[in-house]
Amino acid sequence: MERYSEVIGLPVICAADGKKIGVVKDIVFFPEKKKIVAFEIERNSCEIRKKLVLKEDVLNLGKDAMIIDNEKKLIGFGKAKESLGIKSKGKIIGLKIYTKYGQDVGIIKDVLFDFQKDTLDGVEVSDGLINDIVQGRNLLPLLGKVEFGKENILVEKAAVEEMMETGKGIKGIINKN
């Protein structure tokens, strides 16, 4: 399983000639279907037009680099929108999460996905800086029906019951020792 935060900044390498063509700038999600659509590539800091590589054109996504077949696999966002039938980049980081019963769960700080299966599996949730420091962030699996909006996400109560502590806070460190 990969994390959004670990993929951003990875170099993008062409398998055809071994040339680095840029770095992963962002991931384009299709939240309604819980899928990854494409990766936004930054070729140089001066480039104005966004370039994307579709998920199916990525040969491999490793922990140290993304490998694509060749530079011709990079396409403009307009062309990607037409071929994929999407209107805009699906933003997930920063959305508030609520249960369908109105309980505030927190804010999404990271996304966990399975590149091979092409699924969004869960999100890392923050419920405040102090809680993050003391207890660490929680992992919320995207179980059952999840409704993505522009500003909020609604999840089933069962998903919240399955939420796991990461144990990366001060409390987890103290309990380890």
pLDDT (tens digit, 9 = 90+) per residue, 30-76?
877 788 888 999 987 666 677 889 999 999 999 999 999 988 888 88
- Compute the Cα dihedral for 98, 167, 130, 94 and give only its sign: negative
Residue type, 173: I
String of b and e for 84-121 (b: at least 16 CB within 10 Å)?
eebeebbebbebebbbeeeeebbbbebbbbebeeebbb
Contact 25, 47 (CB under 8 A): no
Contact 142, 58 (CB under 8 A): no
- Compute the Cα dihedral for 43, 48, 53, 55 and give only its sign: positive
Domains parsed from the chain with CATH numbers: 2-84 (2.30.30.240), 96-176 (2.30.30.240)
Q: Quickly count: other Cβ atoms within 10 Å of residue 66's Cβ.
A: 22
Token digits of residue 91: 């933003």
Q: Mean pLDDT across the stretch 130-135?
A: 63
**pTM of the shown model:** 0.79
Q: What percent of the chain has pLDDT over 90?
A: 27
